[in-house]
A and B are shown apart, each in its own frame.
Chain A
Amino acid sequence: MKIKDSPSRIVFKVINTILMCLLAFACIIPLWHVLMASFSNPTLITQHSGLIFWPLSGPGRSATLGGYKIVLKTASLARGYANTIFYVGVGTILCVSFCSIAAYCISRRRTLWMKYLLLIIMLTMFFNGGLIPTYMVNKYLTLVNKRWVMIIMGLMPVFFIIIIRTAFMQLPASLEESAQLDGAGHMTILIKIILPLSKATIAVIALFYAVAKWNEYLFAVIYLTNRKLYPLQVLLREILVESSGNLDFNIANEVGGGGEDYKKLLQYTTIIYATLPILAVYPFVQKYFVTGVMIGSIKG
């Protein structure tokens, strides 16, 4: 039974549609601007002000892939990429493993002590020692300026453990009991039975962690001073925020003279270079993030 819309309803719908179009435009245009600028002529970028909707080029000043050529040949950025991939890869595997073990432990119903483990974990959500005491602990453990500090910090977010635990608790208890009767140990039960049945949740957690780790820079800034260990985001910060000349861009080798013009272009190309993996997988994985928020919200 379709009822015809009233005039005020039609006005609302039109305005609402326009608003939503504007929102979508506003959300995508800054990223589009950066993408287009990254192909633009370096000299024209420095003269241009305002949004760039299409690669800037002009007579004798063509659009260029030159920025990318320089960025790809920059050794420190390549190392940053490798470091980030290490932190993301190893971090994701360990985060998922340890969070699953923790969730498994606190989801055991017929134990005397595991409810206290749950309490120990939950309490850390409400209070923590803060930045400096945590830093001191890592300092005493000589973890400052070590690769592993990047993995250890944020290894087991309480929120993740709770989400995985909720997934584990939803599985029928009879499954594990019969496995136990067959003589399976806890590790076997976890790996062979529980994890495969919760793989949707685990995948969402892995995805959340991986994206957050790829984008994270604060731990690196706090704990690392050795440039060889820097993840991409810290190098990006130097290029974009501090505009420092620390980076070994080989501009002169690539384009001869006129290197100053490239500074701005290189900012744009480095953004795309460092964000490409996220943008490339985003369309395929965004629905999992939506699922992730939903799982999280059920627990609230």
Chain B
Amino acid sequence: MRLTDIKKDWARNKSVYFLAIPIVLYFIIWSYIPMVGIVLGFEDYSPRGGVLGSEFVGIKNFTDFFSSYYFGRLLRNTIILSVSSMIINFPAPIILALLLNELENKMFKKVVQTISYMPYFVSVVVICGIIIDFFAYDGAFTELFVRIGLIKEAKDLLSVKSAFRPIFVFSSTWQGVGYGSIIYLAALSGVDQELYEAAKIDGAGRWKQMLHITLPSISPTIIIMLILLVGNLLNVAMEKVILLYRPVTYETADVISSFVYRRGIQEGDYGYSTAVGLFNSIVNLLLLLLTNYISRKYSETSLF
């Protein structure tokens, strides 16, 4: 890059650069300065010293966290919730898309699709309100479970430790499965129909066609979605957790992000909670890079 190039570029494009100033400022202030703010995680924060003047304590916050009673519980809850969400909520939209794709009545397909997207647009507060209502002492699901003998007597299921995870995971399936299927339906509509004709001539049945044509055709979409999901593995939907958990279910429900919120925002323990949050972000980043690497190596599909 020569100086004359820079001058020429400036002369021609300076008005675009002026246009970009607010954008750059926004990202510096609300994305990059917080990244620098991670130093908080290495400080014993005191309101008087502030971010710059508080005592530097090295990795004490981290070692405190790793050796605390919470570490095991939070890591276990976070991993169990996210992995079980993934095992159930990742394939569900793919299966739904495949089933929808088999419907021959276009009108019926359209109606089912439209209805199944709907829960996605209802706010998480309302969803949780409905969950609380349905699983309450006199709720619809509690009553159903008593009737089919799943539980012995009616009780408020959200105060039951072992009930939190299934309620959390399956309510997310319910809310997201329809909307999640859109992207796969789009991929399915792009599959070359001639492949199916050729397979039929070769005598492949419906099941074989699905295994050998449909799934390979949409696999790039599936892999991209999987990478994105794994990169967010530790980001359990905190907004839903803090609506549904209660002190009696912290044992199974409290996750890293909800802990950061409680310790940081509600209790003002900024240094410690920044360290915990940083641990979360780093693990996420590593997981994203790792899956992307594995995927690029074995399937030639990758994010970057």
A residues less than 8 Å from B277 (CB atoms): 130-132
Q: Do A133 and B35 touch across chains, with their CB atoms under 8 A apart?
A: yes
Binds A, one of B11-19, B71-79, B82-90, B159-167: B11-19
Across the interface, B243 reaches (CB within 8 A) one of A105, A120, A241, namely: A241
Q: Do A120 and B24 touch across chains, with their CB atoms under 8 A apart?
A: yes
B142 nearest in chain A by CB position: A49
Is A4 an interface residue, CB under 8 A from the partner? no
Q: Do B273 and A27 touch across chains, with their CB atoms under 8 A apart?
A: no
Q: Find residues 101-121 in chain A having any chain B CB closer than 8 Å to their own CB.
A: 101-102, 104-105, 108, 110-114, 117, 120-121
Is B56 an interface residue, CB under 8 A from the partner? no
Is A28 an interface residue, CB under 8 A from the partner? yes
Is B69 an interface residue, CB under 8 A from the partner? no
Is A246 an interface residue, CB under 8 A from the partner? no
Across the interface, A121 reaches (CB within 8 A) one of B27, B114, B134, B183, namely: B27
Is B132 an interface residue, CB under 8 A from the partner? yes
Interface band, chain B: 35 or more
Q: Find residues 46-63 in chain B having any chain A CB closer than 8 Å to their own CB.
A: 51
How far is A108 from B17 in the complex, measured between Cα atoms in Å?
10
Q: Do B123 and A128 touch across chains, with their CB atoms under 8 A apart?
A: no
Q: Do A24 and B111 touch across chains, with their CB atoms under 8 A apart?
A: yes
Is A71 an interface residue, CB under 8 A from the partner? no
A residues less than 8 Å from B34 (CB atoms): 128-130, 133-134, 136-137
A residues less than 8 Å from B99 (CB atoms): 16, 19-20
The smallest C-beta distance from B206 to any residue of chain A, in angstroms, reads: 7
B residues less than 8 Å from A289 (CB atoms): 117, 121, 179, 182
Answer whether A128 and B186 are a contact pair too, CB < 8 Å, given A49-B140, A111-B16, A215-B124.
no
**Interface secondary structure of B, over-half rule:** helix
How far is A277 from B144 in the complex, measured between Cα atoms in Å?
32
B residues less than 8 Å from A28 (CB atoms): 115, 118
Q: Encode B89-105 as 1/0 by CB contact (under 8 A) with A.
A: 00000001001101110
Q: Do B139 and A49 touch across chains, with their CB atoms under 8 A apart?
A: yes
The smallest C-beta distance from A119 to any residue of chain B, in angstroms, reads: 11
The smallest C-beta distance from B65 to any residue of chain A, in angstroms, reads: 14
Q: Do B183 and A240 touch across chains, with their CB atoms under 8 A apart?
A: no
Answer whether A13 and B102 are a contact pair too, CB < 8 Å, given A131-B264, A286-B117.
yes
Interface band, chain A: 35 or more
B residues less than 8 Å from A233 (CB atoms): 123, 125
Q: Do B103 and A156 touch across chains, with their CB atoms under 8 A apart?
A: no
Across the interface, A215 reaches (CB within 8 A) one of B13, B123, B182, namely: B123
Is A200 an interface residue, CB under 8 A from the partner? no
Across the interface, A156 reaches (CB within 8 A) one of B26, B51, B224, namely: B26
Q: Do B23 and A156 touch across chains, with their CB atoms under 8 A apart?
A: yes
How far is A151 from B253 in the complex, measured between Cα atoms in Å?
31
Q: Do B128 and A241 touch across chains, with their CB atoms under 8 A apart?
A: yes
Q: Do B118 and A17 touch across chains, with their CB atoms under 8 A apart?
A: no
How far is A24 from B110 in the complex, measured between Cα atoms in Å?
11
Q: Do A26 and B174 touch across chains, with their CB atoms under 8 A apart?
A: yes
Q: Do A135 and B265 touch across chains, with their CB atoms under 8 A apart?
A: yes
Is A93 an interface residue, CB under 8 A from the partner? no
Q: Find residues 281-300 in chain A having any chain B CB closer than 8 Å to their own CB.
A: 282-283, 286, 289-290, 293-294, 296-297, 300
The smallest C-beta distance from B10 to any residue of chain A, in angstroms, reads: 8
B residues less than 8 Å from A186 (CB atoms): 15-16, 19
Answer whether A137 and B37 are a contact pair too, CB < 8 Å, given A50-B140, A113-B17, A185-B15.
yes
A residues less than 8 Å from B143 (CB atoms): 49-50
Q: Would you mind naming 14 contact pairs between A and B with Cβ atoms under 8 Å apart?
A: A13-B104, A20-B108, A21-B112, A28-B118, A49-B140, A105-B19, A124-B31, A129-B35, A132-B265, A152-B30, A215-B124, A221-B242, A222-B265, A300-B224
| A residues adjacent to B (C-beta < 8 A) | 9, 12-13, 16-17, 19-21, 23-24, 26-28, 30-31, 33-34, 48-51, 98, 101-102, 104-105, 108, 110-114, 117, 120-121, 124, 126-137, 140-141, 152-153, 155-156, 185-187, 211, 214-218, 221-222, 233, 236-237, 239-241, 267, 271, 274-275, 278, 282-283, 286, 289-290, 293-294, 296-297, 300
| B residues adjacent to A (C-beta < 8 A) | 1, 5-6, 9, 12-13, 15-17, 19-20, 22-24, 26-27, 29-38, 40, 51, 96, 99-100, 102-104, 108, 111-112, 114-119, 121-126, 128-130, 132-134, 138-140, 142-144, 154, 174, 177-179, 182-183, 186-187, 206, 221, 224, 231, 238-239, 242-243, 257, 260-261, 264-265, 270, 273-274, 277-278, 280-281, 285, 288, 303
Given A128-B34, A133-B37: 15 more A-B contacts, CB < 8 Å: A28-B118, A104-B19, A111-B16, A114-B16, A130-B34, A133-B35, A133-B36, A156-B23, A211-B121, A222-B265, A237-B125, A240-B128, A271-B130, A286-B117, A294-B186
